[in-house]
Structure 1
Amino acid sequence: MSFETVNVVYRKYDGSLHWHHPALFLGEDEHGLWTGCVAGTLGRRGSEPPVSWPHPFVILFPRDAWWTALFNAEPNKTEIYCDITTVPEWRDGEVTMVDLDLDVIRMRDGRIFLDDEDEFAEHQVRYSYPPDVVASARAAAGHLMEAVTSFTDPFAAPPRWLSHVT
């Protein structure tokens, strides 16, 4: 099976480049659009040297939601890593969004936590996040904490899309 390659581009609120990498567009379902990366995919944070990811993963880009969700294949210790972001925008073979610092993480050992609240507070000042952006980010984080903790779909089981990259 052959998949189209897309560019995944996370930026910071000031427009600066954050994490970015190529991915395979896998398809869409009731949860949104899915991309995937095989083991060894190279990604970069800003202009830092590329890193090779040792395990495959897929990313869900929900429609009209302020988050993205990365699902790692085993044996990665992080099962799910949700970034709070602006609504992802698709155009010309690229999906872009602004990373708003907060992350909801579920580890394979069952721990679930909200990460980078300190960075979110710092960046509210540094980047002058408007009140509606702060409110949307907090609402998304609250929704995800509940959904990931209660194993609500799509967080109930590893997504079928992982089979395309493992």
Structure 2
Amino acid sequence: MSTPERPARPTTPGTLVRVRGSKYDGRAHWAFDGVWLGADEHGDWIGFPVGTHFERPGAAFTAAWPSLTLVTSTGWMPAFNLGHPRRLGTYVDLTTVPEWRADASGFTISYVDLDLDVVERDGEPAFIDDEDEFAEHAVEFGYPADLVERVRADADALLAAVQRRESPFDGATAAAWFDRLAAVG
């Protein structure tokens, strides 16, 4: 039995990575560029230094704080923020499994945002956000029943992991990657 080939990923810290999200109906969602910092047992870490531009239809901002995204091999992508103006520390997007693509212009990660998020603001309890949007889109876009079940179960499990401070949500894991971002950034 052969082992599935791992999609091409960067190998040099500081390599540009384009992150492109969409909604289930194909509409563009968030688009932003970062730098690959490395990988660990959790997945690939992408860093976004101060000054990173984030854009989606109808909204855009340039971050005055550094952030990280962990690209997992599952259907979720957590973001970690330092000094976010609204105290947003951890924000976990429930998604399709992120897909890597390499071409002559570099590396791109694409994913479909599936609405539910696990959110933790500094000093406040974590919670699951956008349940109404998830319920509406499940009907409007025709999410398959197994996808709805998986996303709901993942959201509950991630909420518990954030609350228990399991790695990578323990603070120390992201802190080490923020140090790497500062070094390549």
**TM-score (structure 1 length as normaliser):** 0.93
SS at match of 1:124: helix
Q: CA offset at residue 78 of structure 1?
A: 0.8
Match of 1:66 among 50, 71, 75: 75
Q: CA offset at residue 70 of structure 1?
A: 0.2
Which residue of structure 2 lines up, in the alignment, with residue 13 of structure 1? 24
Greater Cα radius of gyration, structure 1 or 2: 2
Q: CA 1:107–1:50 in structure 2 vs 1: closer, same or farther (change >3 Å)?
A: closer
Letter in 2 for 1:128: G
Which residue of structure 1 lines up, in the alignment, with residue 178 of structure 2? 162
Match of 2:108 among 91, 94, 97: 94
Q: CA offset at residue 75 of structure 1?
A: 4.8
SS at match of 2:120: strand
Q: CA offset at residue 22 of structure 1?
A: 0.6
- 5+ residue gaps, structure 2: 1-11
Q: Tell whether 2:141 aligns with 1:131.
A: no
Alignment deviations for residues 65-98 of structure 1 (CA, whole Å, 9 cap, x no partner)? 1100000012540110000001111111000111
SS at match of 2:45: strand
Cα RMSD (Å) of the superposition? Answer: 1.5
SS at match of 1:14: coil
Q: CA 1:100–1:73 in structure 2 vs 1: closer, same or farther (change >3 Å)?
A: same
Q: CA 1:146–1:49 in structure 2 vs 1: closer, same or farther (change >3 Å)?
A: closer
State how 1:34-73 maps to structure 2 within 5 Å.
Answer: 34-46=45-57, 48=58, 50-63=60-73, 65-73=74-82
Distance 2:59 2:89 in 1: 25
**TM-score (structure 2 length as normaliser):** 0.84
**Aligned pair count?**
164
Alignment deviations for residues 32-64 of structure 1 (CA, whole Å, 9 cap, x no partner)? 011010111111013x3631011100000112x
Q: CA offset at residue 2 of structure 1?
A: 5.8
Q: CA 1:49–1:101 in structure 2 vs 1: closer, same or farther (change >3 Å)?
A: closer
- 5+ residue gaps, structure 1: none
Which residue of structure 2 lines up, in the alignment, with residue 105 of structure 1? 119
Which consecutive aligned stretches of 4+ in structure 1 deviate over 2 angstroms post-superposition? none
